Amino acid sequence: MAQADDFGLRGSITPEIRVFSQSPSSLRQTNSGLSVASEVTAKYFFGDHESQSIVVTPFGRLDQHDQRRTHWDLREARYGFVDSAWELRIGIDKVFWGVTEAVHLVDIVNQVDAIEDPVKQEVRLGQPMIRLRTTQDFGTFEVFVLPYFRERTFPGADGRPATDIPVDTGLTRYESSRGEHHIDGAARYSNSFGDFDLGLSYFQGTGRDPILQPALSKDGDLVLAPLYPQIRQASFDAQATKGAWLYKAEGYWRSELGRQYEAVTGGIEYTFYGIAGTDGDLGVIAEYALDSRSMVVRAPYENDGFFALRWTANDAASTSLLAGMVVDANTSARGFRLKADRRLSENYHLSIEGYAFGDIPQSDPVYSIADDDYLQIRLARYF
């Protein structure tokens, strides 16, 4: 990491390989693929007591097969000012809301980068915003003005994993006549009460989760066209820590296209410290998710249980392993996830991640990618 008194620069270059265990559903797809990504973060602090800052984080990827996955994004490009209990940020920024492991229902400010993380969908695009936060005795209160909407990214016809019918972002439609220029807004209150953490949030504007509708492309091919409706959403997230026990829950009420529905998820995590006489800890996770929309494409966790083991070695290399399974209570469909991380040296980090599906019926929302079991290996070089 190179830095001066008030300037810091850090980045990474990450080659990646994905290997698929099943034959592709399209002749344009392959059983493996290579890509390389890079991300750099520059931070500059200035003013009295470094009260002002500029942070810029560009990201880019070059992919062997998928032209859409060869892309770039500004994850952050913001100005910040801190004065006592107040903080102002203006520009492109990232915000995370939520506490559960399997699905983050309330995390709505930033759009999903589904090219980078097509299954778990935890990677987010940078979002233009004005963010004002204050921390007082009664808790932390934040307001957001979101002047521009980011469309969700989707794999191309050569990409994998991907839906059997490709998504044509050129046919994107909006409920609002202002399209991507609709001004959205959000507010959030959070506080800690002893062992209990609570967050209450409200969002109004263009929904980040598109409705995918069948359509014909300009070449006459069957595609899916995204429609972004206007929504109102009130949500909560809560977490309580009691010794080795961790209790967590989150959920929302949403109004969309004249319809109202709810979704909630929650569960427990228990940690066995110093497992088998070692320095490692073993966490046992159990969660459940419900969605009142029942089984639709946009609600894959509508009546599902999640079970996982998380092992942390607590060693110098920060070795960790997560193995989890999702089970649909209605259809008995299953999804499996494995993630392992280890720092190989001061500058190298290895990550292995795998996804697999079993007994997925055609009515299940994830059926379209059920033949895309894959193993992903990334080796990051930090500088």
Q: What is the pLDDT of residues 51-69, one digit of tens each?
A: 999 999 999 999 999 999 9
> Which of the pair, 293 or 99, is modelled with greater confidence?
99
Model pLDDT, residue 27: 81
What six digits make up the tokens of 335? 């999804």
Provide the pLDDT for residue 12: 98
Return all residues near 84 (Cβ < 8 A) that are at least 6 apart: none
pLDDT at 262: 95
* CA distances, 106 to each of 97, 229, 232, 236 (Å): 6, 17, 12, 7
Residue 311 has pLDDT above 90, yes or no: yes
Q: Could you give the domains of the chain?
A: 2-382 (2.40.160.10)
pLDDT in tens, 111-160: 999 999 888 889 999 999 999 999 999 999 999 999 999 999 999 888 99
Q: What is the pLDDT of residues 254-289, one digit of tens each?
A: 999 999 999 999 999 999 999 989 999 999 999 999
Provide the token pair at 208: 């980040």
| 64, 213 Cβ separation under 8 angstroms | no
The tokens describing 180, both together, are 């991507």
Peptide linkage before 161 cis (omega within 30 of 0): yes
Closest CA to 76 of 89, 101, 51, 57: 57
- Tracing tokens 């080796």 back to the chain, one arrives at 379
Q: Is the pTM of this model over 0.85?
A: yes
Provide the pLDDT for residue 76: 98
